[in-house]
Chain A
């Protein structure tokens, strides 16, 4: 393969396939290289796809894409060992104007890569990109085994571990406090059972986000999403916390599944797949250099994920950043100049978009999330307070405020509670 491409994209996840799609549509000569047997074969996430960024590129994509269910609600669940308190949000608005979908990555990513191929990109699977070619400090292509693939620009869309960004000298070592590990099971259940159990109409879906006992007090959370004929059940735990607490992460999944109120939701389901991946958790604080001469970094490789407590976002950032990187390359192509100064327009596009805007707005979230009380003390406290409010045992009742203060006694001061609350105000 000695043909010189306008662009080589490494990794056919949502970021890479979107970038390849947009560039191919603009008439660029693009190759998309994926190490898996098929796009999506190495990819896992929750997975909840917020539709807006892809909708801009492929209007009403959900009519052709293999999406699972249209998400009409989100239940945020504070979990203690035997109880829970939940906020359950649902809106019919999301039926009219879809906001997000649950997807299964092996199917969805395959479809998106196919779209890139149909748009004119060359898609190569089964090949691992081993390195970048560097000439006089500029990236001028990639190395695949003993082959060299020259290109004007490389887009690193190779996921959270991004060895390409590392090899190009754009990022340093990865830290255990900046990464969580997500572990997931796909649990098969008949469609009718899911719709009955989760109170859903056909094609409607729901997402559950848990915090508290699900991670045994460690930083992280759990999810339960409804797919067409399966549930995605997963836990996310900060790697540093697993190390400190010396708890085996696979056991955390089993612990979560056995919670009395989780057990009911997955009852009689059969696990049909087990998957895991690391997740960047520090957003803007862990961002690599986003561009250099002949290279751009997109999606998870750039650390573009956001955990705002209520939602976990990643694929929407991936798609938007992939599209913006493509736009930057299209500009560079016009000028026939792929230097860092021309490609710097990518950073400007990101700043003007929700990608860097949201990461800046929520830049205090990662630090706020390090507060251990969120994962142990507070969910327990809320559950205990509600239990005391609900319980009628023949003894005189107290005012709710008194119950709260009594439950807090010896566990957390009012000042700490207020401080944490105010911390959340500026972070979430």
Chain B
């Protein structure tokens, strides 16, 4: 049977969205706090999977951020410093 429902990777899904990425990140993560964090809730709540573990270390990339706010709410350690991108930058929904 041919694949009627295509399985899309998260990278492919984000590739469908229009972004106007600012030079300055609108979200910054204090990784020194993350080093002491066992739970790392951010890994689960980000719909864009922008929080990743590489060799046991947390990484974050603000490009591809959908500006949903989940990581801000999920982080108990207050390691996430959150702002909206500057006016006009960030995700641009065509449908929403």
- Give the interface of A toward B (CB within 8 A): 35-37, 40-45, 47, 104-107, 109, 125-128, 144, 160-161, 163, 174-176, 179, 181, 183, 185-186, 230, 239, 242-243, 245-250, 253-254, 257-258, 263, 266-278
Contacts of A144 in B (CB 8 A): 87
Q: Restricting to B52-96, which residues have a CB under 8 Å from any CB of A?
A: 66-70, 72-74, 83-88, 90-96
Contact in complex: B20, A183 (CB < 8 Å): no
Contact in complex: B66, A273 (CB < 8 Å): no
Q: Does B46 contact A (CB under 8 A)?
A: yes
B84 is contacted by which of A45, A106, A128, A243 (Cβ under 8 Å)? A128
User: Closest approach, in angstroms, between the C-beta of B60 and any C-beta of chain A?
Assistant: 15
Cα separation A257 to B13 with both chains bound (whole Å)? 14
Q: Restricting to B21-75, which residues have a CB under 8 Å from any CB of A?
A: 39, 41, 43-49, 66-70, 72-74
Contact in complex: A275, B44 (CB < 8 Å): no
Q: Which residue of A lies closest to B92 (CB)?
A: A41
Contacts of B91 in A (CB 8 A): 41-42, 275
Cα separation A263 to B2 with both chains bound (whole Å)? 13
Contacts of A249 in B (CB 8 A): 44-47, 70
Contacts of B85 in A (CB 8 A): 35, 128
Residue of B44, B85, B88, B90 with most partner-chain A CB within 10 A: B44
A278 is contacted by which of B41, B44, B70 (Cβ under 8 Å)? B70
Contacts of B45 in A (CB 8 A): 181, 239, 242-243, 249
B7 is contacted by which of A243, A254, A266, A276 (Cβ under 8 Å)? A254
Contacts of A105 in B (CB 8 A): 93, 95-96
Contact in complex: A181, B47 (CB < 8 Å): yes
User: Closest approach, in angstroms, between the C-beta of A187 and any C-beta of chain B?
Assistant: 9
**Given A106-B93, A107-B95, A126-B87, is A273 in contact with B17 using a C-beta cutoff of 8 Å?**
yes
Q: Size class of B's contact patch?
A: 35 or more
Contacts of A278 in B (CB 8 A): 68-70, 73
Q: Which residue of B lies closest to A246 (CB)?
A: B44
Contacts of B69 in A (CB 8 A): 160-161, 174, 179, 277-278
Q: Which residue of A lies closest to B86 (CB)?
A: A128
Contacts of B95 in A (CB 8 A): 104-107, 186, 230, 272-273, 275
Contact in complex: B73, A43 (CB < 8 Å): no
Cα separation A263 to B13 with both chains bound (whole Å)? 18
Contacts of A125 in B (CB 8 A): 87-88
User: Closest approach, in angstroms, between the C-beta of A271 and any C-beta of chain B?
Assistant: 6
User: Closest approach, in angstroms, between the C-beta of B86 and any C-beta of chain A?
Assistant: 6
Contacts of B4 in A (CB 8 A): 263, 267-268
List the 5 closest A-B pairs by CB distance, nearest first: A105-B96, A106-B96, A276-B47, A126-B88, A274-B13
Contact in complex: B44, A43 (CB < 8 Å): no
Contact in complex: A127, B87 (CB < 8 Å): yes
Cα separation A187 to B62 with both chains bound (whole Å)? 25
User: Closest approach, in angstroms, between the C-beta of B34 and any C-beta of chain A?
Assistant: 15
**Given A104-B95, A249-B47, is A272 in contact with B68 using a C-beta cutoff of 8 Å?**
no
B70 is contacted by which of A35, A239, A267, A274 (Cβ under 8 Å)? A239
Contacts of A128 in B (CB 8 A): 84-87
Contacts of B92 in A (CB 8 A): 36-37, 41
23 A–B contact pairs at CB < 8 A? A40-B96, A42-B91, A43-B96, A105-B96, A128-B84, A161-B72, A163-B84, A181-B68, A242-B44, A246-B44, A248-B44, A249-B44, A250-B49, A253-B47, A258-B5, A263-B4, A267-B5, A273-B96, A274-B16, A275-B91, A276-B66, A277-B67, A277-B69
Contact in complex: A275, B73 (CB < 8 Å): no
Cα separation A266 to B5 with both chains bound (whole Å)? 7
Cα separation A310 to B6 with both chains bound (whole Å)? 30
Contact in complex: B96, A250 (CB < 8 Å): no
Q: Which residue of B lies closest to A104 (CB)?
A: B95
Cα separation A248 to B70 with both chains bound (whole Å)? 12
Cα separation A257 to B93 with both chains bound (whole Å)? 22
Cα separation A126 to B85 with both chains bound (whole Å)? 10
User: Closest approach, in angstroms, between the C-beta of A225 and any C-beta of chain B?
Assistant: 12
Cα separation A183 to B13 with both chains bound (whole Å)? 12
